[in-house]
Structure formats: C-alpha cells, structure tokens
Structure 1
Amino acid sequence: MPACPRPLAALICLVSGALMAAGSAAAQPSWVDPPAKTAGEPAAKPREPAPSFSAEPKPDRRGAERAPVSARTTRNADRIAADAAARAAARRAAQAEERRIEERRAALAEERRAARRAERLSARPPRRAPEPVAEPDGRMEDWAVASQDLTRAYFATFSEPNGVVLGATPRFYGDRVVFHGRAMSLSALLAEKRRFLARWPERRYRARPDSIRTACNAGIATCQVESTVDFVAANPGRGVRSEGTVAVRMALSFAGGRPVIVSESSRVLSRDRMASHD
C-alpha cells in the first residue's frame, strides 16, 4: 500500500487503497474443487456441443449469371454455324449453276460451229463426177466413132416430123435414162418428148461438126459425147419461133453391144425468140 500523507490525505489514501484491493480481488479468479464422486453415482454425461449457427452461404451470383450467358453463347454459336452452312450451301448451288451455264454455253457454241460448217459445206458446189478416162483399148476408137455417128443421127431424126421422131426415139435410148438430172423410165421419157414436140411441131437441129468431142471408158463401157448444136423451132399455130445454140452432153452405154443414150442434158448458149413470119 502506498504511503499516504496525514490527516486528510491519509483518509483518502485509505479509501483508494481499499478500492484497489477490492478491484484486485475481483480480477483474480476463484478456483473451487469439484465435489468428490460417490459410489453408484452415474457419471455426468458430456454436454453436447451447442449447435453452431453459421451464417447462410451467399449464393454465387457469378455462377448464376454465367449460366444464362453460357446458354446465350451456345445459341449464338448454333445460329452462326447454321448461317455459315446456309451460305456454304448457297455458294455450292451458285457454283453448280455457273457450271451448268458454262456447259450450256459450250454446247450452244458447238452447235453454232456445226451449223456454220454445215452451211459452208452446203454452199460448196457439188463435186462433179470424175470424167471417164480413155484407157488404151482396141475398142475405144470404134466406140468413139459409133458415138459420134449416133449423135449426128439423133439430131437429124429429131428434126423430122413428130410421128417419125416418136417412132424412132426408143431405139436411141436405154430402158433407164437420166434426163436433165431426173432418172426416169423409157416410157416417161417418151411422154416428155411428146409434150416437147407438141409445143414445137417444126424443128431443125444441126450439130456443128468440129464441136463433137468424145471420151470413152472401157471399164464401164461408156462414152461421153459433148457437142454444140444450132436449132430452129417454130409453132405456126401460136405464131412463135425460137432459134439459138445449145451445148448438149450425152452419155452412151455400150454394155448391151450397141450404143444407147443413158444420160442427156443441155444448156442454152444463146436464143432469140420472135414472132413467126411463116
């Protein structure tokens, strides 16, 4: 206890000392021994710990927020993939259409080229059959002479009256004749001649002697005869008259032993048509 001055100070010091002693005694714990255990007395059950109530866990807002974001991201990814697939399909379809268009253009171009080739070929003049080539054969000279004789006789006969011409025509021609590019039978040829004779009942034909040219081919037993013929034809009933010059081309066959005309064509070189004065 501290020393206190006297007299009043002693009292104050006494009171403060008591207070300090009381406070010290209160601050120290008082230990009491537990009572002794008696026989047969059950041991005290241990006290169960009081439940500890911890604060409720706060919800994980980040997880809750991430779940909708993840679903939205998945939907966006699906939509992007679908759009990409659609664009790829459209691109493939466009490429396929372009290929079809190119193939069609190529086919049309080939068709046009084929058409132009066909036009060029059709515009070309037809090839003439090769001229029979005279071969060294002992019969060629005889055939050439016989062909020229038949040609002169033919034009002389054709200058006769109609009845004589129609009666003599069968002996000049074969059974089949190509007359001015048309194949026909002998009877059809006689009908053609009959119409011509009715149109021009008066005729005079004369082959120029120096114009007759002959080429024979022993392989096919045929001679080609070309001649230039002056003619005069008239029809008094109609009062018309025609005269001029024609180039005549005939093919004579010797296959049957005697010469017969199997082809005949002519081309007018000059012609004057006038009213008849007869």
Structure 2
Amino acid sequence: MFRKKLAMLGAVAMVLSSPLRADVDATLPDYQKASGVSGNLSSVGSDTLANLMTLWAEEFKREYPNVNIQIQAAGSSTAPPALTEGTANFGPMSRKMKSKEIASFEKKYGYKPTPIRVAIDALAVYVHKDNPVDSLTIPQVDAIFSATRKCGYKADINSWSQLNANIGNIQLYGRNSVSGTYGYFKKKGLCKGDFKDQVNEQPGSASVVQGVTKSLNGIGYSGIGYKTSGVKALALSKKPGGKVVAATKENAAKGTYPLSRYLYVYINKAPNKPLAPIDREFVK
C-alpha cells in the first residue's frame, strides 16, 4: 500500500529539485485501493506542475493499470477553458483563476470550480553558475526585466556592469503570457509593470533555465524545481537594505522568500454530488 503521500488533499508538496515532496505524515492511513476504477483522465494546464502531475499519474497508474492518463502542460491559462469545456478532469495552475475565468465556468455549470492547494513553489531568478552576482532586490529585478520600473528603482538596468559584474549586457529569458508564472512574476517581480520587449519568451520553464545555462550574461525566472547545475538561484530582498532571503523550500514554506507562491489543481466538483470514481480516487 502506498501512503497518501501523493494525495492532493492529504499533504502539501514542495516543488523543489525535480521535484522534492514534503515529508509524509506518518499518521496518515494507508491508501485503500478501490475496485472497478478504469477509464481516461486528462490534465491540462501548468508547465510548472508538469513534473508533479506526471509523478502522481505514474503512481496512480501503478495502482490502476486500466486507467489512461494524458497530461498537457502548455501553461496555466490553458486550464480554465479546458475545465470549462469538459476536455480536462484536472486543471493545474501556478496562479489562482482570474475572476473572468471563474465567471465563464460558473455561467456554464451554475457553480464555481474547486481549487486544491497542492504545492508551495519558490519562483527563482536564475543566472549562469559563473555569474558573480549572488543577490538582488525586487526593485533591481524590476529594473532588469521591466520597461516601466513600477517598483521604484532609479534607473534601467541593462548591463551587468551596473551590478558590479563585468560580463557584458544582460540577456533576458522569460515565459510567454499563457504562463501563470509570467503573470505571477509580472505582478510580484515587476509590481504589475510591463516587460521589456527584449525578453526572450520561452514555451516552458526548462527552456528558460536552458537558455540561462548557455548564456554567461543571461538571467531568467522559473520554478525552483527546474534548477540545474548550470545555473544558480539568486537570493532576493524585498527592498534595498532589507533581509536577503535564499530560494529554499524552508523559506518558501515560511513565506519569507519574496517570490514564494501556492500552486493549485482545479476540479469540477458539483455541490452535494460525489466526484466520479476515477476522479475521486486520484484526488485521495
């Protein structure tokens, strides 16, 4: 029997290092396998949660070999329409649904989608492993990535020499607007400002990290679960002179790391009605 260590409702997982999960509560009962569970499951949404969804799917399929599971991870913004249209059982998202996304779902079904917090993530700011810079303030992050500098930094930052590193002009890597990570970084890292046109938008978290790995002067952002040996995650402080906090699972869980966030899986759960057996057992 496997414990509820992969349960969406039973424990909060930490999306760290491909990914690390939180320690399993020893008091959780062993999972009791249900009979007659078969059919198809579909997950559409977050790239950040792709590793965990795949892990959960693999474990679930070991228990239920007659279940077919498909996972699409093109970005969080693909989850709400898939859930609304009924083409997905699960909608993993690295952000909360927007009010208009909830309204579209509610208009069709008469009730709101159900969010389940499944993980805590540290959204890391990555540089090349040989970059001498070890930390930044959020206003500096904003001045690097944003054209608007709404976080209040005095000047645009486009060269590493402005940060005492003689490695040339800054090469920017980021996500596209379909990504929940893009939206979260825009809100928290750019103080709701606008990205520079020079950002090299990538389709997934891994490709952001890969780009930075190949560029000594590169900088990018993605979940800490995608960290590799070719990059380092910068420590961050909310303001100049503030406490510098490393992007670790402990700091993310405590909420002290400035870019820590919850990750969600949304489901279609009608009030006062049970989930379909296959959905119910996956959520357990």
TM-score range, shorter chain: under 0.3
Normalised to the residue count of structure 1, the TM-score between the two structures is: 0.20
Asked which structure has the greater CA Rg, the reply is 1
Normalised to the residue count of structure 2, the TM-score between the two structures is: 0.20
The structure whose RCO (Cα within 8 Å, separation 6+) is larger is 2
